Amino acid sequence: MSGENGIRTEKLDIGYKSDLIKDISLCVRPGEIVTLIGPNGSGKTTLLKTLSGELKSRGGTVYLDGDDRESLKASEIAKRMSIVMTYKIKPELMTCREVVEVGRYPYTGSFGILSDTDREKVKEAMEWTDVADLDESLFSNISDGQKQRVLLARAICQEPEIMILDEPTSFLDIRHKIDILQRIRAFAEGKKVAVLMSLHELGIARNISDTVVCVGEGEVLKTGTPEEVFKEEFIRRLYHLEDTDIDMLGEVLWLK
């Protein structure tokens, strides 16, 4: 591991069959939250999937703690980076504790038997996201808000240095949105983890992020602090809402 920590991309090209966005350079340092905003289909999820390794990059390099992602073994990547994605998972008869325990996969032996330390970490993570009382409940039977917290606990007990979250607040009501983001904020600061996530709620993104990356029109339009990015005119352009009478920066929405 070199001196550099966190995640960084250099001239990254992403996309499925053709380039969706070219030449992305972004950087998330430990303890920092970087948020991707932009309209649906702009490539936020594609970018996160490329960083997590689910999609192959079409060019450029992803550095994890200073090392080229391609040069790392799957098990090494797993110890450095964990994810929370938007997929609805429906595991059969799997308790919440079992879901969280999957996060210890990179640390257990070839038969996957958990040590006392592993169990302790699982318990800690579940207490931390306030789902400890659900440990014997079946994952399929709990609410969406609880599911999201269980998945966050899973990502936390993987002890990553980098965490990637795709719309961690989707399916949640406003109270749970704020709750989960506060936990992510505290986790990033407390454990010095580099957090990169996508969000749709601009008001929340503005409050929680250290840096905001705006994706739209096939490129990264702007990167900067919330103060730099959240300008009425720019946000209107980003979401193609130039002609709509809507309070872009607040939480209020009036349609003509």
Partner 1 sequence: MSKRRNAVFFCVITILIIAFFWINIVLGSADISVREVLGIITGGSSETMESSIIMGIRMPRAISAVLLGGALALSGYLLQTFFGNPIVGPFVLGISSGAKLFVALTMIFFLSLGKQMGLNMMVLAAFVGASLAMAFVLLISVKVRNMSILVVCGIMTGYICSAITDLVVTFADDSNIVNLHNWSMGSLSGMGWEEIRLIAVIVAICFLLAVLIQKPMNAYRLGEAYARSVGVNIKLLRVMLIFISSLLAACVTAFAGPISFVGIAVPHLVRSALGTDSAPVMIPASFLGGALITLFCDLVARTVFAPTEVSISSVTAVFLVPVVIYMMIKRSGRNS
Residue among 104 and 183 whose Cβ is closer to partner 1: 104
Contact 44, 199 (CB under 8 A): no
- What's the rounded Cα separation, in Å, for the pair 132 and 11? 42
- What's the rounded Cα separation, in Å, for the pair 165 and 171? 14
- What's the rounded Cα separation, in Å, for the pair 48 and 140? 26
- What's the rounded Cα separation, in Å, for the pair 47 and 183? 24
x/- track of binding to partner 1 for residues 109-148 (CB under 8 A): -xxx-----------------------x------------
First to last CA, the chain: 55
Residue 160: alpha-carbon gap to chain centroid: 12
- Our CA dihedral for 84, 147, 103, 163, rounded to 10 degrees, sits at 30
Residue among 98 and 210 whose Cβ is closer to partner 1: 98
Site for partner 1, residues 88 to 107, rule: CB under 8 A: 89, 91-95, 98-99, 102-103, 105-106
Q: Which of 26, 85, 162, 202 binds partner 1 (CB under 8 A)?
A: 85
Least distance (Å) from partner 1 to the CB of residue 83? 5
- Give me the residues paired with residue 66 across strands: none
Tokens linked to 114: 């958990």
x/- track of binding to partner 1 for residues 147-166 (CB under 8 A): -------x---x--------
Region binding partner 1 by CB under 8 A among candidate stretches 72-80, 120-128, 174-182, 236-244: 72-80
Residue among 4 and 98 whose Cβ is closer to partner 1: 98
Q: Which of 35, 82, 198, 209 binds partner 1 (CB under 8 A)?
A: 82
- Give me the residues paired with residue 64 across strands: 7, 67
**Residues contributing to the site for partner 1 (CB under 8 A):** 52-54, 74-75, 77-79, 81-83, 85, 87, 89, 91-95, 98-99, 102-103, 105-106, 108, 110-112, 136, 154, 158
